[in-house]
Structure 1
């Protein structure tokens, strides 16, 4: 066997749902079970392995967990010796091997180290296999690839990304156009800039943790539906959900920004305050942010003051309603 092709113990292989490309959109909502859809396929694999042994190697990437470091002869530093591997292609073969009672698996060890490299490698798997991905699965797989922390695919030329992920160039363009439009709506991307500047703004917006992490937990189908329904009337329950999502995203969006226990305690207190008969008015008066504006004093020194322009507007309106308070010509 070559260095990249070897037999390893089954218990040295670890899997993760994020590394399973098939039905990646469904997995996010736990609406689908591979065991149900591919029951016959796995049974066939099991029978084949029992009769002929494993014919097609699985693909793995070395994991950082549980490794050892050994000093080779004449080496100046220890080298990494993996004892655990991330499975990036062959989830059904793994299940079939377990059912067949196998102790070892034939694997191809791909270049890379750790989960991030395994995630990249998994996007390229399942392109030419016995049971290929459906067109919808390929699109969802590509969408998931674009919305991971590592920006490998976001920065890749459209033609190259489409070829690697097995989708059309138009699909990649639709991903980019949809996220760009969202950034424009959010005020993070300028609609009227040069092509180079527009690309820079798109990459900066997509690289924000609040963007890619949010998009990584919904399927492309759901994201399209949300955009299509954007102009439609929304139910009161849906509006409440949007408000709750916005609050939670702000409070938990930046990791380490607020202590989670303090956030929960504050939300509970807000709930009690919102439950007052004058809840909305009370919350607005107590928590509405004030706009900082400099105030010029008699000696022309600029002094910082928090001015509540909402209250100022009400006061000016009241003064106009009452009419002039002094005779014409008075100063």
Structure 2
């Protein structure tokens, strides 16, 4: 399905560029490309009669019109109509791009709008974080409930990390949220994950594994261990042993009884058919204590003058 989606998107992209190329070739470029000046390679120049130098860019960030640019290249055009928006540098370009790309010919899907808004909220610049819910929703073309969910999720995370007081007065709630969200450890971490992934991680952390699932996991580990020994034990013997363990576990003191009854005993390693020691079953701590006790008894039993 992923490969089909990639193929479908590529096919749609190619068709859209071809349509734009035919339209521009016939009627000319009707809508200019939208750019913001880049800081790289630019210089400050003092115009005649001016009081201060102004920045003269030589490179630009393309915000809106990527398909139109491809179409212009396709028909071999060497010039393009361009609208330069106010601002300078990557941060200004990002802010402007989030607003201009809301009305492109191939509009963003609701999911893309949500992820775009989440990304805008987790920039180093707190432009969107400090907007009211209503204004941010209007600017980013998402619902007010979406913005409220962003804010509530980050606030709950701040409460869990003891950075936000859940009982703070209403006039301090917003201040604490903004202070927590403006920490680089917060927005920097959230900026590299999607809203969908962040929401899923919070849902999983708030819903720990059920007791039934944990019991199933333990049973799986037991069965995989017993039946995964390449025929070391007969399946019938394993099943009979499990039945007996079940009866032992039904006792009132089941856990303590099982631990005391089946705790590894101290003994010398046995040998298998290929004469290899089964050392993994030896309790070496208990074995060391037993050897020390035997040596002490041997010393006590010696007669004077014995070597």
Matched residue SS, 2:117:
helix
Q: What is the CA–CA distance in structure 2 between the aligned matches of 1:58 and 1:233, rounded to whole Å?
A: 52
Q: What is the CA–CA distance in structure 2 between the aligned matches of 1:44 and 1:175, rounded to whole Å?
A: 38
Larger relative helix fraction: 2
Q: How does 1:2-21 map onto structure 2 within 5 Å? A: none
Q: What is the CA–CA distance in structure 2 between the aligned matches of 1:75 and 1:200, rounded to whole Å?
A: 43
Q: What is the CA–CA distance in structure 2 between the aligned matches of 1:87 and 1:223, rounded to whole Å?
A: 29
CA RMSD of aligned residues (A): 2.3
Q: After superposition, give the CA deviation of every residue in 1:144-172 in whole Å (9 maximum; x if it has no partner).
A: 11011100000111111111111111110
Q: Give the CA deviation at 1:50.
A: 2.6
Q: After superposition, give the CA deviation of every residue in 1:114-158 in whole Å (9 maximum; x if it has no partner).
A: 111111101111222322222111111111110111000001111
Matched residue SS, 1:93:
helix
Considering Cα pairs closer than 8 Å and 6+ residues apart, tell me whether 1 or 2 has the greater RCO: 1
The residue aligned with 2:87 is 112
Q: Give the CA deviation at 1:39.
A: 2.6
The residue aligned with 1:301 is none
Does structure 1 residue 140 correspond to structure 2 residue 115? yes
Matched residue SS, 2:162:
coil
Count of aligned residue pairs for this structure pair: 206
Matched residue SS, 1:104:
coil
Matched residue SS, 2:67:
helix
Q: Give the CA deviation at 1:196.
A: 2.1
The residue aligned with 1:67 is 42
TM-score relative to the length of structure 1: 0.58
Q: How does 1:159-238 map onto structure 2 within 5 Å? A: 159-230=134-205, 231-233=207-209
* Residue of 126, 133, 138 corresponding to 2:101: 126
Q: Give the CA deviation at 1:80.
A: 1.1
Q: After superposition, give the CA deviation of every residue in 1:65-94 in whole Å (9 maximum; x if it has no partner).
A: 122332212112221111111111112222
Contact 2:35-2:83 at 8 Å conserved across structures? yes
Q: Give the CA deviation at 1:61.
A: 0.6
Computing the radius of gyration from Cα coordinates, the structure with the larger value is 2
Does structure 1 residue 53 correspond to structure 2 residue 37? no
TM-score relative to the length of structure 2: 0.63
Q: What is the CA–CA distance in structure 2 between the aligned matches of 1:156 and 1:42, rounded to whole Å?
A: 36
Segments of structure 2 that go 5 or more residues without pairing to the other structure are 214-307
Q: What is the CA–CA distance in structure 2 between the aligned matches of 1:104 and 1:54, rounded to whole Å?
A: 10
